[in-house]
Amino acid sequence: MSGLIQFALTQRLLVLILTLLLAGAGYVATVNIPIDAFPDVSPAQVKIIVKAPGMTPEEVETRITAPIELELLGIPKQTMLRSIAKYALTDITIDFEEGADIYWARQQIAERINAVWGVLPEGVEGGMAPMTTPLGEMFMFTVEGGDLTLMERRNLLDWVIRPALRTVPGVADVNTLGGLVRSYEVIPNNAALSSRGITTEALISALKSNNRNDGAGRLAEGEESLLVRAEGQIRDLDDVKAIVVANQNGVAITVGDVAEVRIGELTRYGAVSQNGEGEAVEGLVLGLRGSNARQVVVGVEKKLDEIQTALPEGVKLSVFYNRSELVNRAIHTVVRALVEAIVLVLILLVLFLGDLRAALTVAGILPLSALFTFLLMHQFGITANLMSLGGLAIAIGKLVDPAVVVVENITTHLADPKMQGKLPRLHLIYRAMREVTAPVVSGALIIGIVFVPLLSLEGLEGKLFRPVAFTNVFAMTGSLFMSMLVIPVIASWLMRNVKHEEPWLARKLHEIYKPALLWALAHTRQVIIVAALLLLATAVIYTRIGKTFMPTLDEGTVIIQVEKLPSINLEQSVRLDEQIQKALFRHVPAVARVVSRVGSDEIGLDPMGLNETDNFLVLKPEDQWGGKTKEQLLDEIRRVMESIPGIDFGFTQPIQMRVTEMLTGVRGDVAVKLYGPDLAVLNEEAEAIANAMRTVNGASDVFTIRNAGMQYLQVRIDRLAIGRMGLDGDALERTLRAQIEGLKLGIVQEDIKRTPLLLRASSDPEQLATLQISLPDGRRVPLSAVAHIERTEGVVAINRERGQRYAVVRSNVEGRDLVGFVEDARKAVAERVALPSGYYLTWGGQFENQQRAAKRLAIVIPISIGLIFMLLFTTFGSVRLAVLVLTNVPFSLVGGVTSLWLSGEYLSVSASVGFISLLGIAVLNGVVMVTYFNQLRAQGLAMDDVVMTGAMRRLRPVLMTASIAAFGLIPLLFASGPGSEIQRPLAIVGVGGLVTSTLLTLILLPILYRRFGEAKSA
């Protein structure tokens, strides 16, 4: 390092040019770095969505889900296989190990799907979902105005808006919800078919084989060639009606003779409504995995502006969720804290150094380190988000530490009257640099080592906090190199006339500190007793602090998840949603808009039932809430929801909902999974568990999905009867599907639009028994002649995890800590619920993440402290002094734990990061003090003089280090907006810990050094 410093001072212009080039590269990286609200916390995850129209959950599970799951077993690096089977749909999720290449994972899945697809039932469709993430829902809008019908709005979204948006870079797909999907419907006239002796099979065959254009080849005509094209494709309703089904005695029987042909709609599995004004049509833009959220949203907005002219007059796209708003607010929160921290640090530098030039020299480290950090973030693929920029905000106070030490020592040498005129300025600067190289480097290493635990975190907490560790390490690396190589060069130009005199603040601090230290040295026993009592009190307080995983981030948008009776139909479900919307508008003035989504979406990424609704609440600006807080507003909304009979509900937010769903397959702070083979037992025991959890203090929005009560019409085929009549089971089931669900026979190509062609009939349940079934000989018999029909109850959905069925009870936690709630809930469930043999529970959700993080930190933090001890031992060559410096660690916890308790915050992963960050500064201050004590002792001073003189001389650097670090965190204490909830516990711990750590370093460490600094001579 000495050689590099010498090179920098002899080649100052080159160093300056290289620094400017590095700053320029950092600026380019800053401008081009991807920006998002959060780090990408999703694992390498692949979803398979298979649609099977008309199939019940049990049929979907046995015929589709189970075969696919069996085929997927054994794929390398697989960590989780989860599925849900619902009416007409199965959604299978496969998670892979962290670091697995998503393209490789999708290739593995594709190969397995191809192998199993041939054994799946005829007519199923689907495959892998778009390559998005659970956090990929970036932009939501409704199509409004223009006096268009629901079908016309859906048509516009499907064939104009969606194709245009899919061309935007970074868009994986555009999900469409609500409205009516246009179709051509052929409705057989049973009487006409029977009178002409035509079977339904003949009608289906005619429709399938008369809907295609084809090329016949090429003919030569003189010198030209003619391409022959045969047109037999259906173009409109008249073409469908004109298709010949049979020829009887030279008379053509057409489709129009035996069936009604009309424009209809596909069977709906979901709907969208809003503001109590009726149904709507919604578009949902899904971002590609790894895309830049802000750029995607900007691209989408630009594309929507471009296609506005192509939309019918009066039609507008009304946006109700825009991820960039959250991104901008989150980034604004942390950038504002960064700027405020920099201003506070500059003020402190001027006050402590008493020299504007010296303060500016030190402050130069901040922009240079920040640009260096952004450059490395860009190279390592780390996005600028709440956590990575928060890491930089945490580091602001520590970045100046090396520069402070360097500039202070340069000032001392340049102002030394013994050296002035005897040695060149650059040589004095070089000598000053050589003296501080070892402590500065070891100090930077210590601060780097304390962040090793964060790099070892796994799962969600690892993805959230590793960017914090990386930006801290990057920033400290930049600060170290800039302090060693660039700051001396800047100092050689700026610090020309240096006067070595104590600034006003330093003099005042000395006046206060000296009598306090003298009293402490004279009353050693009392000071040690007080310190020990403080440690004991801290241990007691620690046991009273609740533990949780992460503070809840306020995203600004509220989602109310509603569950209704399982047997409810779509029309009634939409009507109930509209009732909820009107009630919210009537009683909660702060609600600006409500968009409700019931049932499944078009792609199938969110396979809800007809009894499940997500209500998106767009709130007015906070100044229009009538002075209410967010908690009071949610209580007001909760009272409205409780007044509506027949529903269960819970609160969440868009990203929060998807993250919890991604991790556990369900939504909620706590997810209790009950595994077992029998669905009826699972449903019964899950309800018992939910009732037990409702009695626990802090339980909020507890409910288990009602998985029984779905109404079935069971058609039991009489095998003897169909055998006598020449029928088979498959043909009868196909006829039933055609009559009720509708049988897809192909598509009608209308320019670029592809409109489904369906065969369907009346779906009145009262007429099902009299439904006419065609026999091979042309006769027709009622369904009751070949089957028994009975009404039964069945399940709504079947959840599976790693091949086992399970039921879920979910709960949010309010007003208390997560870990304490789970402990009480476990006791309540154990006392009230006795599980049958073969059934067992697991506790997951945010609680599972907290437990995993706590276990990992309990292992790696002691290892990190051990590494610091080794570094201290290497620095001092003494176990005694290394242990002495490490005594700062427990005393730094005193302030951190106490401030956490006083503020009412819980011990979360965020607060743990605050404690980890605190370790570095606490140890660093001890190193500064003990190093100087050793130097004075080596000069032959008596021990009492050593501790008194050393402590007085090191007062300023210790206070500078601690106060600058603390003041760098203060803006995070008072920040508001998205993300401040995560940063605040960290700042509370940091500021409180630095106060006690610094006080004890200045008072207790001199006492301990005097007593234990040297071995007693025999």
- Which residue type sits at 399? L
Question: Across-strand partners of 128?
Answer: 48
Distance set, CA 443 to CA 89, 208, 402, 589, 1007 (Å): 59, 78, 8, 55, 23
User: Angle formed by the axes of helices 846-876 and 879-886, to 10°?
Assistant: 140
Q: Percent of the chain beyond pLDDT 90?
A: 26
Taking a C-beta distance cutoff of 8 angstroms, is the pair 42, 79 a contact? no
Q: What was the pLDDT predicted at 764?
A: 66
Residue 717: closest CA among 734, 733, 739: 733
Taking a C-beta distance cutoff of 8 angstroms, is the pair 268, 151 a contact? no
> pLDDT grade, residue 617 (50/70/90)?
very high
Span 55-63, average pLDDT = 90
Q: What was the pLDDT predicted at 640?
A: 93
Q: What is the pLDDT of residues 153-180, one digit of tens each?
A: 999 999 999 999 999 999 999 999 999 9
Q: What was the pLDDT predicted at 840?
A: 92
Q: What is the mean pLDDT of the chain?
A: 86
Q: Is the pLDDT of residue 145 over 80?
A: yes
b vs e for 764-782, b when ≥16 Cβ sit within 10 Å of the residue's Cβ? Answer: eeeebeebbbbeeeeebbe
Domain with CATH 3.30.2090.10 in the chain: 184-214+235-265+711-794
Residue 739: closest CA among 200, 211, 263: 200
Q: What is the pLDDT of residues 388-443, one digit of tens each?
A: 888 888 888 788 888 887 887 787 777 766 666 667 778 888 888 887 787 788 87
Q: What was the pLDDT predicted at 159?
A: 92
Give the 3-state secondary structure of 228-288: EEEECCCCCHHHHHCCEEEEECCEEEEHHHHEEEEEEECCCCEEEEECCCCEEEEEEEEEE
Domain 506-544+878-1017 CATH class label:
mainly alpha
b vs e for 463-480, b when ≥16 Cβ sit within 10 Å of the residue's Cβ? Answer: bbbbbbbbbbbbbbbbbb
> pLDDT grade, residue 498 (50/70/90)?
low
Residue 738: exposed, middle, or buried by beta-carbon count in 10 A (0-12, 13-18, 19+)? buried
Q: Is the pLDDT of residue 1015 over 70?
A: no
How far apart (Å, rounded) are the C-alpha atoms in residues 777 and 134? 54
Domain with CATH 1.20.1640.10 in the chain: 1-32+354-501, 506-544+878-1017
Residue 395: closest CA among 1000, 1002, 986: 986
Dig out the tokens for 611 from the structure: 């009894």
Q: Is the pLDDT of residue 243 over 80?
A: yes
Rg of the chain (C-alpha set):
36
Q: What was the pLDDT predicted at 577?
A: 94
Q: Is the pLDDT of residue 135 over 90?
A: no
> pLDDT grade, residue 1018 (50/70/90)?
very low
How far apart (Å, rounded) are the C-alpha atoms in residues 483 and 401? 9
Residue 547: closest CA among 198, 818, 170: 818
185 DSSP assignment: E
C-beta neighbour count of 557 within 10 angstroms: 19
Span 611-634, average pLDDT = 89
Q: What was the pLDDT predicted at 274?
A: 93
> pLDDT grade, residue 874 (50/70/90)?
confident
Q: What was the pLDDT predicted at 709?
A: 73
For residues 528 and 775, which has the higher predicted lDDT (pLDDT)?
528
Q: Is the pLDDT of residue 971 over 60?
A: yes
For residues 852 and 561, which has the higher predicted lDDT (pLDDT)?
561
Q: Is the pLDDT of residue 139 over 60?
A: yes
Dig out the tokens for 841 from the structure: 């529970």
Q: What was the pLDDT predicted at 663?
A: 66
Q: What was the pLDDT predicted at 510?
A: 87
Taking a C-beta distance cutoff of 8 angstroms, is the pair 944, 1010 a contact? yes
Q: Is the pLDDT of residue 911 over 70?
A: yes
Q: How are the residues of the chain apportioned to helix, strand and coil, as percentages rounded to the nearest 5?
A: 55, 20, 25
Q: Out of 2.60.120.10, 3.30.2090.10, 3.40.50.970, 2.40.170.20, select the CATH number for domain 184-214+235-265+711-794.
A: 3.30.2090.10
Q: What end-to-end distance do the CA atoms of the chain give, in Å?
A: 41
Taking a C-beta distance cutoff of 8 angstroms, is the pair 650, 667 a contact? yes
Taking a C-beta distance cutoff of 8 angstroms, is the pair 914, 985 a contact? yes
H/E element holding 541? Answer: helix 524-544
Q: What was the pLDDT predicted at 114?
A: 92
What is the phi/psi pair of residue 604, to 5°?
A: 100, 15
Q: Is the pLDDT of residue 665 over 80?
A: no
Q: What is the pLDDT of residues 817-854, one digit of tens each?
A: 888 888 899 999 999 998 999 899 988 877 777 888 88
Span 90-106, average pLDDT = 91
- Which residue type sits at 897? V
Dig out the tokens for 329 from the structure: 């607010």
The 3-state DSSP class for residue 700 equals strand
C-beta neighbour count of 593 within 10 angstroms: 16
> pLDDT grade, residue 957 (50/70/90)?
confident
Residue 914: closest CA among 837, 796, 830, 993: 993
Taking a C-beta distance cutoff of 8 angstroms, is the pair 325, 977 a contact? no
Distance from the Cα of residue 962 to its chain's centroid: 34
Q: Which fold has domain 1-32+354-501?
A: Multidrug efflux transporter AcrB transmembrane fold (1.20.1640)
Dig out the tokens for 104 from the structure: 């490789």
Dig out the tokens for 675 from the structure: 């595994």
Q: What was the pLDDT predicted at 36?
A: 80
Taking a C-beta distance cutoff of 8 angstroms, is the pair 641, 580 a contact? yes
How far apart (Å, rounded) are the C-alpha atoms in residues 997 and 117? 65
Residue 656: closest CA among 557, 746, 578: 557
Distance set, CA 983 to CA 137, 394, 450, 479 (Å): 25, 9, 18, 23
Q: Percent of the chain beyond pLDDT 70?
A: 97
Q: What is the pLDDT of residues 442-456, one digit of tens each?
A: 878 888 778 877 888
Span 588-602, average pLDDT = 90
Which residues are CB-neighbours of 831 under 8 A, at least 6 positions away?
Answer: 692
Span 341-367, average pLDDT = 84
